[in-house]
Chains A and B, each alone.
Chain A
Amino acid sequence: MTLKRVTGLLCAAAMSLALTAGAQAQDKVVKIGVIMPMSGGTASIGAHAKAALDVATDIINNAHPELGNFPLAKNAGLAGLGGAKVEVIIADNQGNPATGQNQALRLITEEKVAAVFGSYQSGVTLTSSAIAEKYGVPFLNSESVAANLTERGFKWFFRTTPIATDFAKIYVDFLADLKSQGAKTDSVAVVHDNTEYGTSVANTISGAFKEKGLPIALDVAYPVNATDLQGQVLQLKDKKPDVVIMISYTSDAILFAKTMQSLDYKPAVLLADDAGYSDPSFTKAVGKISQGVFNRSSWVVGPAGSPSAIIADMYKKKSGEEMDDTVARQMQGFFVLADAIDRAGSTEPAKIQAALKATDLKPEQLMIGYKGVKFDDKGQNTLASGAIIQLQDGENYVSVWPKANAAKAPMLPYKGW
């Protein structure tokens, strides 16, 4: 009898030990679901994002005293959760809004992630964040710029990147500045694909120029992942706009560069809206025939030894690529999310949501050139900002505007090859 009782007690003790051990082990990992294009036409972006998140989790999960006061770097793991490690679960959206939506559902219901991060293409972010909203799970977006994403009245959606309206303003001011220096910038053409990103950014830019009394002279739309763009380039060549604004993903951006060269077309000013033009595979493939293209960016490397320089170095070691604007915005967004979870001290969605709402990061706590991170009621970072960069002398962009932060003066006209 007593032996039985002792055995029973021992068993119970063992079981409760096992249970608490299990619970502790579970507590030590914070799962974050990441939705990225790992296959399809923009798979290069997904591959770069994965390398960037590997670096970010390394910084969070291990002690990196060399980064000084950079948030989450000093100690190993999230201090607010007793040193819990962050685990990234990557899901492939195939560049497809429907797939992105399914993956969000899987990450939330099956992987039970604490938060979702993604999804690069605005069109995919649109659908996948709707699932997170429905299930009441925080969704952080760091790189989709379609303005309407934060106009849906969502409570669980947060976005760190500057958006189309911010950039449209930058483009208007930048071109006005070029004009005051004697460049001809009166007629503007907008070239864009037919995705959520392409159409909404084109609309926003057209609206911003119209407000200044500068209606867009020519709107050239094309289907994404085009097999041939000669007709579009000939249209531009025919109408001769002074400024051409390109809103394209990598594949089309490369094809445009090649077709413009073969048809010998050079506008005076070629201004790209990030996306494909920031992909290192664009500059490697056709950088030499796209000399002088302007682009937008929030990424500027600081002096040697600064957090941004160290992180850029870590990223290059990991991926073999130079850090670009898209990857930098993604890493920064991921740090913001991890910082909120750390401050929440919990993986409970409502607590993370509250911590995200309370986010107030200063420029010196960031690896990117934002004026800070602070979300408004719609979940948009009000302190996001950007600059204009230009491809000069080979495959690297240099900052050229605004003048205060510029490394070099803008080079005009567009040189091409």
Chain B
Amino acid sequence: MSFVLVQVIVGGLLLGAVYALFSSGLTLVWGMMNIVNFAHGDFVMLGMYVAYVVYTLMGGGPLLGAPLATLVLATLGIVVYFGLIRGIMKGPMLAQILGTFGLALLLRYSVFWWFGANFLSMPPNIVGGTYAFAGLRIEASRLLAGVVALLVTLGLHLLLTRTSLGSKMLAVAEDQTAAQLMGIRPDTMQAIAWAIAAGATGLAGALIANFFYIVPTVGETLGIVAFVTVSLGGFGSVPGALVAGLLIGVIESLSGYLIGAIYKDIVVYVLFLFFLWFRPQGLMGKM
């Protein structure tokens, strides 16, 4: 029994780390320019498809698929920034919401058109195995995803707080005009933020693809988790997303096992609303 509980908690932590990774991109974009990217879940989906295509067509395993997905999505992030975001940032709030929502549908149905509606699954590969020790079973693919997610999220945090690039990005987030006077180009910084955010999301997708099914609508399922994680962690806070992701992962697994899966979302969201009652800015968000 206790073994099972440990298994449940470990599973929840690994899942939570991945939630954290694909939420960090969403929170970064919000923190930088107050834009909620509704296409975020579909960025995860694209990352999964890139990893799948790399593996099935080019024979590269997850070791090639993950970096390539990061690169492709980072490029897409820059394209989206210059092609869409820069324009709609000047428009009303509604234009921003509808703009990224439209992008989400465009991405989703492009993948529908190209790959069809069938469910895909990564063929067995080098991270397909399972480690068993002391009665615990941990999938290599989930362990890899969890560890990479932790490292990347920490890395993102350090980049923002310890480097001059990070300081410049935060300066733009704080006050665009003042940053411009200091010789920082807001356009460049925001494009970099989009590249990083989308790249991290693509990486998350590529890692999740190893243990989840791949389908054009998977972004709907995963996107909601990202929004909850980000609002619990605090909009704009990368460490907040990390803590929130881990918390949600563990609460979901524990309540799913102890009181039944049908109630696990109720538990998560009741705790979530209760928490926001006391701390509307989230765990680590600024007021």
B15: interface (CB < 8 Å): yes
CB atoms of A222 and B117 under 8 A apart: no
CB atoms of B117 and A254 under 8 A apart: no
CB atoms of A231 and B120 under 8 A apart: no
* CB closest residue in chain A, given B256: A231
CB atoms of B139 and A262 under 8 A apart: yes
CB atoms of A47 and B213 under 8 A apart: no
Q: B203: shortest Cβ distance to chain A, in Å?
A: 18
A74-100 residues at the B interface, CB under 8 angstroms: none
Give B1-43 as 1s and 0s: 1 = Cβ < 8 Å from A's Cβ atoms: 1001001100110010000000000000000000000000000
CB atoms of B121 and A254 under 8 A apart: yes
Q: B218: shortest Cβ distance to chain A, in Å?
A: 8
Give A34-52 as 1s and 0s: 1 = Cβ < 8 Å from B's Cβ atoms: 0000111101101100000
Q: Contact residue range for chain B?
A: 35 or more
CB atoms of B119 and A230 under 8 A apart: no
A223: interface (CB < 8 Å): yes
Specify which of B7, B119, B225, B260 lies most central, judged by the most chain A CB atoms within 10 Å of its CB: B119
A347: interface (CB < 8 Å): no
A126: interface (CB < 8 Å): no
B163: interface (CB < 8 Å): no
A348: interface (CB < 8 Å): no
A227 / chain B contacts, CB cutoff of 8 Å: 15, 221-222, 225, 252
From B81-89, B178-186, B261-269, the one touching the partner chain is B261-269
Give A232-256 as 1s and 0s: 1 = Cβ < 8 Å from B's Cβ atoms: 1011011000000000001100110
CB atoms of B130 and A230 under 8 A apart: no
A133: interface (CB < 8 Å): no
Other-chain residue from B7, B139, B262 in contact with A222 (beta carbon distance below 8 A): B262
A309: interface (CB < 8 Å): no
Q: A93: shortest Cβ distance to chain B, in Å?
A: 14
Q: A222: shortest Cβ distance to chain B, in Å?
A: 4
A230-B253, A234-B4, A262-B130 known; A194 and B262 CB under 8 Å? yes
CB atoms of B118 and A221 under 8 A apart: no
Other-chain residue from B8, B121, B221, B261 in contact with A221 (beta carbon distance below 8 A): B261
Bound complex: CA A46 to CA B211 (Å): 25
Bound complex: CA A229 to CA B8 (Å): 11
Number of A residues near B (Cβ < 8 Å) is 41
* CB closest residue in chain B, given A321: B118
A264: interface (CB < 8 Å): yes
A230-B253, A264-B137 known; A221 and B217 CB under 8 Å? no
B8 / chain A contacts, CB cutoff of 8 Å: 230-231, 234
A260-312 residues at the B interface, CB under 8 angstroms: 261-264, 279-282, 284-286
A251-B215, A255-B212 known; A234 and B117 CB under 8 Å? no
Bound complex: CA A201 to CA B38 (Å): 36
For this complex, 27 residue pairs linking A to B, each with C-beta atoms less than 8 Å apart, are: A41-B221, A43-B215, A43-B216, A46-B117, A47-B116, A47-B117, A194-B262, A223-B262, A223-B264, A226-B261, A227-B222, A229-B261, A230-B8, A230-B11, A230-B15, A230-B253, A231-B256, A235-B257, A250-B119, A251-B221, A254-B213, A258-B121, A261-B130, A264-B132, A284-B119, A285-B120, A285-B121
Residues of B within 8 A of A (CB): 1, 4, 7-8, 11-12, 15, 109, 112, 116-121, 130, 132, 137, 139, 142, 211-213, 215-217, 220-222, 225, 252-254, 256-257, 260-262, 264-265
